[in-house]
Amino acid sequence: MKTQKLETKASQAQLDHRETLYKLFKDTPIPTDQLLMHLGLYMRSSALAKILFVNELYELIKDVPGSIMEFGCWLGQNIILFENLRAINEPFNQNRRVIGFDTFGGYASLSAVDGDSEVITGEGYALPANYPDYLKELIAYHESNNILSHISKHQIVQGDVVKTFPQFLKDNPGEMVALAYFDLAVYEPSKVCFQAIRERLVPGSVLLMDEYNFKEYPGATIAFREVFGDTGYKIKKSRYMTDRAIVIID
């Protein structure tokens, strides 16, 4: 699968070092069935930190009712992790739905406040046209291996969230939100979703801001400040990914 090359802050030496790992992975003598059980052999500390980070978020909302939503899920790894963490932590909670929103075709709504990053372009994070169907098949596989597999507890919503998220809430008037993972990066879709989601949050609900206080991506922070102001929540850094902001609703 070919995707647009994304920005990286790694040095050339780090990039060269990664190539060594990629070659070791490509040339692995381990059979596929064993490889899938031992991916930690090839997982850099940064990748492991991301998994610990997603678990950190889940731990925060285990006692909070509502669904898990991700805005800007790209390849969908977090969606899969959340589904399996649900199965581990609360396997009989059929109301803990996992829902991902993405265009899967790049950024649909850009404005002047979004900066001039090479990533924040119409083609940024664009995926092949068939990828949403592949992701749906993948998450369905994982759910089929978990308890209550006959009850669908996930959904992938494709399209511009400026349109799809308000419509989703209209179609699901009883859907409350325990965790909303925001990785939209840009202003307009972030603000639309912040405004729409406010009435679906409960005390203890968590908003994860992937680009909070990022100089390169100011739009999401501006949108958050305009909608939520500076009261009614607590905010802290993640333990494992210290550039991510965790907002906990009072």
**Is the separation of the CB atoms in 106 and 3 below 8 Å?**
no
Residues 178-188: pLDDT tens digits?
Answer: 999 999 999 99
pLDDT band at 247 (very low <50, low <70, confident <90, very high): very high
Question: How far is CA 145 from its chain centroid?
Answer: 22
Question: How far is CA 121 from its chain centroid?
Answer: 19
CA torsion angle 130 48 78 231 (round to 10): -140
In a domain, 2, yes or no: no
Rounded Cα distance, 226 and 47, in Å = 33
SS3 content of the chain, % helix, strand, coil (to 5): 40, 15, 40
Nearest Cα neighbor of 107 from 82, 72, 146 is 72
- 81 and 16 both lie in a single domain: no
Rounded Cα distance, 214 and 131, in Å = 29
In a domain, 3, yes or no: no
Q: Which domain holds residue 199?
A: 45-249
- 18 and 92 both lie in a single domain: no
pLDDT for 240 beyond 90: yes
- 124 and 238 both lie in a single domain: yes
- 129 and 37 both lie in a single domain: no
Rounded Cα distance, 196 and 88, in Å = 30
User: Which value, in Å, is the radius of gyration of the alpha carbons in the chain?
Assistant: 18
In a domain, 109, yes or no: yes
Residue 108 is predicted with a pLDDT of: 79
In a domain, 1, yes or no: no
CATH number for the domain harbouring residue 146? 3.40.50.150
In a domain, 178, yes or no: yes
- 156 and 112 both lie in a single domain: yes
Token pair listed for 225: 């400040």
- 120 and 205 both lie in a single domain: yes
Helix (H) or strand (E) holding 16: helix 12-26
Residue 233 is predicted with a pLDDT of: 98
- 161 and 210 both lie in a single domain: yes
pLDDT for 136 beyond 70: yes
- 129 and 178 both lie in a single domain: yes
The residue type at 8: T
- 134 and 27 both lie in a single domain: no
Number of domains in the chain: 2
- 62 and 36 both lie in a single domain: no
Give me the residues paired with residue 179 across strands. 68, 206
**Is the separation of the CB atoms in 62 and 93 below 8 Å?**
no
Residues 2-42: pLDDT tens digits?
Answer: 445 455 677 888 888 889 999 999 999 999 999 999 999 99
In a domain, 152, yes or no: yes
